[in-house]
Amino acid sequence: MQVWPGQAYPLGATYDGAGTNFAVFSEAADRVELCLLHDDGSETAVELRESDAFVRHAYLPGIMPGQRYGYRAHGPYEPARGLRCNSAKLLLDPYARAISGRIDWTEAVYGYPFGKPDERNDLDSAPHMMASVVVNPYFDWADDRLPRTEYHETVLYEAHVKGLTMLHPALPDELRGTYAALAHPAVIEHLTELGVTALELMPVHQFVNDHRLVDMGLNNYWGYNTIGFFAPHNTYASWGDRGEQVLEFKSAVRALHQAGIEVILDVVYNHTAEGNDLGPTLSYKGLDNASYYRLAEDPRYYMDTTGTGNSLLMRSPHVLQMIMDSLRYWVEEMHVDGFRFDLAATLARQFHEVDRLSSFFDLVQQDPVVSRVKLIAEPWDVGEGGYQVGNFPPLWTEWNGKYRDTVRDLWRGEPRTLAEFAGRLTGSSDLYQDDGRRPLASINFVTCHDGFTLHDLVAYNDKHNDANGEGNRDGESHNRSWNCGAEGDTDDPEVLDLRARQMRNFVATLMLSQGVPMLSHGDEFARTQGGNNNAYCQDNEVAWLRWADADAPPEPFLEFTRAMVRLRREHPVFRRRRFFHGRPVEGTHDELSDIAWFTPEGEEMTQRDWGAAQASALSVFLNGNAISEPGARGERILDDSFLLLFNASPEELEFVVPVDHGRQWQAVVDTALPTGLPPSDGEKVQAGDRLMLAARSLTVLRRPA
């Protein structure tokens, strides 16, 4: 076999049409072997003799796409010094563009004999390991263009590749649960009819099923257990895992883009699947443990701010390079439109504390590729000082956990909620205005993959996670949920009516709020997980979306959700790019303020009204004539004006329509109705009229511009 010196960059396996260049970083190893794996179980070892700045490299003519390979790192196994090289372990390439197979959990994949972590385990792991794969980078993108939907026009839809598509009745069996299913016309039609502009996919980086879950007969369904930051997860491919998963993912992105839908990836750069000191040796540990991981004062152990056993070392130039290379790869080669960063506070821990000026944010800010796509932070981790909502740099948007909590509290009847609710409804200026950000920095959500579904939020007071095998100890215990009078399934029509009304309240509030709304997949169908609020290991019908019969008429709640998304899309007053001023806007010739707050009696709210412990109702006037930002062509934006009437109290209340903010109004939303939508030719409402709002309901009145 011919072996040429090759190049140290790019890292990974790079096919050029005639052969493949291999490059891998390891400062800890004395020498590194490239192992070409054959279908009969044998391997050919090639020592990487060339080294530049600890990057070992070689070029092998004739090595084609589909070739499986791995590395063996020869060097010291001294956990007390943070060194875990072990040539008996076949290691995945950290830059592998595809990964084949699965892990067969035996003692061989661990770097140490069971029960003796300070000793080296010399069992060969190759027969039990996944393998890296050389891929063909060439793909016909045709005329694919990134939609580049602006944030103020964005509606996010968080979804799981398998959970979204596994039970869709219109999909062929062989496509269900795969990337190809995302590209199927039936799935895309649902997303476009719903009004979704961006599909936020739960992890599709190659991940590993935990040994513990496999032993219990479960799977790591969510996928927050990454082992390959460049490789699409192989079991989501319908027709092979030797590079086919790359082509299939690209095809899905291309189809979604053709429908105007962006693709955003939920990425897990805070830890890897190798776990703590008792975890397996799959890649990074064996190549250079101390360069990849944040080690404790005793280097046998790992610092863990993620709750998973380890944290990547965010001050290591090699970790930072890997993350930035990965992000650019997914944008440039896979054409994705942005990222949601799991436990993003860990990425800011350059040393111990969270630092918004850390090297990672500096690199993102100046990067000409990554800085141009959507960057969404989950702004917390489990370490000290990890809750950082509102503290990320100006380029970033954030999952707003305070929005979720406040909206849940209002509608379940918690006291002293009204003032904070007003702030969340108007874009959370207390979190984002002081650092130059705008309402669109707030990703608003009521539910997501983690926690109750929307249906379960109004059907359960307590979590029911026994199927997870942890004695119902896992998952959040304080869910800010309310079962409306009965725990779980019930035939009580009053309870069912209230639950349906509460779901309409949540979706309506979400779509009427300033910021960027995010729906969780299946909530539009009132999807239930039977009260399981931590379905991370439920790769089954507990977590999969059960679609309605294609021949049946749309469910009323699905129609209501579509209508609320449409109302938001058609009216820029609900998706402002700047915060309200609370006064008339200069140059508009409108003496009314851009926003005004009223008691149910139609009087302007006072400090006493805001501070009342049991206050749970108010009206909000949104002035469509006073949108201060210009339109796309520089013209001033004009819109209809709206009056939002919120009654979160347990009793029906009478609301007075303010007399000075419009003479005549038309009801366009009433969540007390079974459909949530009043007839378009319904009775007009006059200034000064008195309206009765049902308990726990909201009404939206529209005044034409």
Cβ(375)–Cβ(441) under 8 Å?
no
Q: Which of 166, 93, 168, 72 is nearest to 135 (CA)?
A: 93
Cβ(543)–Cβ(451) under 8 Å?
no
Q: Which of 661, 662, 697, 696 is nearest to 678 (CA)?
A: 697
CA–CA dist 230, 249 (Å, integer)? 12
CA–CA dist 318, 299 (Å, integer)? 19
Radius of gyration, alpha carbons of the chain: 27
Collapsing DSSP to helix, strand or coil, 303 comes out as coil
Tokens for 140? Answer: 């016909």
How many Cβ atoms are within 10 Å of 53's Cβ, its own excluded? 10
Cβ(147)–Cβ(138) under 8 Å?
no
Antiparallel, parallel or unpaired: β 31-37 and 98-100: unpaired
Residue 119 is a catalytic residue:
no
Tokens for 473? Answer: 């100890």
List phi, psi (to 5°) of 630.
-80, 160
Q: Give, in degrees to the nearest 5, the angle at Cα 432 between 431 and 435.
A: 120
CA–CA dist 42, 36 (Å, integer)? 9
Q: Which of 304, 342, 381, 398 is catalytic?
A: 342
Residue found under tokens 């032993």? 215
Query: Would you mind telling me the total number of residues written for the chain in this entry?
Result: 705
Handedness of CA 149, 152, 153, 155 (dihedral sign): positive
The DSSP secondary structure of 238-252, one letter per residue, reads SS-SSSHHHHHHHHH
CA–CA dist 74, 87 (Å, integer)? 5
Residue 378 is a catalytic residue:
yes
* Measured torsion, CA atoms of residues 188, 189, 191, 195, in degrees rounded to the nearest 10: 140
Cβ(342)–Cβ(266) under 8 Å?
yes
Residue 663 half-sphere exposure toward CB, CA atoms < 13 A: 0
CA–CA dist 185, 256 (Å, integer)? 10
Tokens for 348? Answer: 């800011």
Q: Which of 93, 96, 10 is nearest to 52 (CA)?
A: 10
Q: Which of 210, 288, 304, 378 is catalytic?
A: 378
In the chain, the amino acid numbered 660 is D
Alpha helices by DSSP H, 442-483: 454-457
Q: Give, in degrees to the nearest 5, the angle at Cα 343 between 267 and 317.
A: 70
Contacts 24+ apart (CB under 8 A), 291-300: 291/25, 291/27, 291/28, 291/316, 291/318, 291/319, 292/316, 292/318, 292/319, 294/349, 295/82, 298/80, 299/79, 299/80, 299/81, 299/82, 300/79, 300/80, 300/82, 300/117, 300/118
Active site residue ranges = 342, 378
